[in-house]
Each structure stands twice: as structure tokens, then as C-alpha cells.
Amino acid sequence: MHPQNHWYGHSQFLAEYAGLGSGRAPRIDGYLQHGWNVHNGFGIRTPLMPGATKLVWSARPMRRGWRYGDRNYRVIGSPWAYLLRVQPGEPQERTGTIFYPFHGIPSQSVTGDHEKLAREVRETEDGPVTAALYWLEYEQPEIRRAYEKAGFRVICHGYRTGGFDRGSNAMLRNQLHELRRHRRVVSNRLATAVLYGASVGCEVGIYGDEMLIENEHPIYGGNARIRRTWPQMHATFVDRVAATAVADEELGLSRLLSPAELADVCGWALPDSGTAEVPHQRTDRRD
């Protein structure tokens, strides 16, 4: 299994949905998209074996891949969408805002004024604010202090897995728990966390200093390309219908396979009958 297939517990959510239990997921035959992006679903620097199946969240990355001559795509929906099926939510009282500042990765850092950004969020949002930092920023005391000084509750959902970083597959489960208890999800860039929040009924806001990531490959087009493609998502208070529609499309919420189909695509053998009961629909969406 490619290590990235394990990141954030993605392979595990697919295996649970397919009826294989909660143990370590079997090897996936192919590459599983591990994050939302505006390229072909995979990092431009990620080496992909020619001919291997690429399991992507939605049709957009598949079409972009076709444009660059890639083949062997299969749209299956995001692991997050399968997590929502295996861990359905119950209606609960929501309060406050959870804020996700744009974060870096070990090979590319982000520069920006966190204190200024925290002040803007504090002045804009009503009620308590939780700052959810990626593990890389959470381990930098000066960044944590910027949000603590603004009166935010500061948390980290956890570490991604796969042999590159520490942690367990609890990261996305922790994120789901936090999103379900907040009324709004806010960020300074359109990113995966915003889509996750919109998918479980959070109101959405995207504003503030966009910050810069070093050595960004030009194929991504920078944040300017994201703004051009999804202008409806860039506002302090985003229209709920628009946010829900974008999340549904980008996360492939309507593209989920049946348990048997998913197992077949991943190259897994199902026990006994070869089928598994489809979990109940989630109850997060609020009309």
C-alpha cells in the first residue's frame, strides 16, 4: 500500500464502510487521493506508478488528469464521505466558530501574520472561537500564543499517519466531532476543512490575509485560481446553499460506491456473502 493511502485514516474508513471491520485496512490496489486540490487529485511531486488506478473524490480531478494525459481514474467519493456513513451524527446544539488558518507542510512553510489574522477573526465572529491548528503550526509556540492571546481555544486534531508523521487514524474523527459542535467554520483560504464543515451543516466564512506558501508549483495557479473558480465561496458570510453545493461536488458525496463495489475497486475480498449493509444516511445536514 502506498503510505499516503493510510494518511488521516482514509483507508480505514473505506474498509469499515466495506464491512471489513475496524482493524488495519488491507492494501489498496492503487493510489487514493488524500486531500482536496486543484490539480489531478495528487501532489505534483508525488511519484505515481504508470498504469496504477487513481481513486479520486470527484470528477474534477479526473478531468484535470485527462488534460495532462493521465488515465486509469475511478471516481469513488472522498474518504470523508465514507466516514460520515460509518459515523453518522445526531442533532445537537451548535455554538461558536472553528477557525482553520492556512497551514504548511514539512517541505513547504507558510508565512503570514497570525496575530493580525487572529484579531480580524475575533472582531468578526460572534461567540467563542476555536483555532484548529495543523500539527506543524501547533508545535510552534509563537503561533499558538497568537491565538491564545486573542482568547481562542487552541486545539490540534492530531497527526496524519502513513509512516511519515506521528499519530493515529483519529485525526479526522476528532475533526468531525469538532465540526459537528460548531455553528460556523472559517478560514483564510478555501481548503479541505471548509468543505468538511459545509458538508456537516456549518455556516462558512472565508476572509483575511491569505498567507503565502513557499515554492508553490505554478501548475496549481495559486489562490488566485481558486478565487476565480469558486468566487461564491469567498465572503465573510457565504451563502449556505452555495457552500453546500460546492462541498457536495468536491467531496463526491453523491458518488459513493456500494460496499461491494468499493471493495472490488480497492482489490479487497469481502467475507462470507461478499456484501455489507449500507449504513444509515447521516443526519448532519440542516435545511
The domain that contains 227 carries what CATH number? Answer: 3.40.50
User: Cell numbers 456549518 correspond to what residue?
Assistant: 202
Examine the domain organization and report whether 23 and 142 are in the same domain: no
Say if CB 197 and CB 204 are below 8 A apart.
yes
Count of other CB atoms within 10 angstroms of residue 138: 19
pLDDT tens for the chain, residues 1 to 287? 577 887 888 999 999 999 998 777 888 999 999 889 888 888 777 777 888 899 999 999 999 989 888 889 999 999 999 999 999 988 789 999 999 998 756 556 677 889 999 999 999 999 999 999 998 889 999 999 999 999 999 999 988 764 334 445 688 999 999 999 999 999 999 999 999 999 999 999 999 988 777 667 666 667 888 999 999 999 999 999 999 999 999 999 999 999 999 999 999 987 764 444 444 344 454 43
Residue 284 resides in a domain: no
Q: Is the pTM of this model over 0.85?
A: yes
Range of the domain at 167: 97-249
The 10s digit of each residue's pLDDT in 45-61 is 777 788 889 999 999 99
Instruction: Locate all alpha helices (DSSP H) within the chain, ordered by sequence.
Output: 10-18, 59-67, 79-86, 114-124, 135-138, 141-149, 171-181, 192-199, 222-229, 240-250, 259-266
Distances (CA, A) of 172 to 35, 157, 209: 12, 7, 26
**Same domain as 256, residue 186:** no
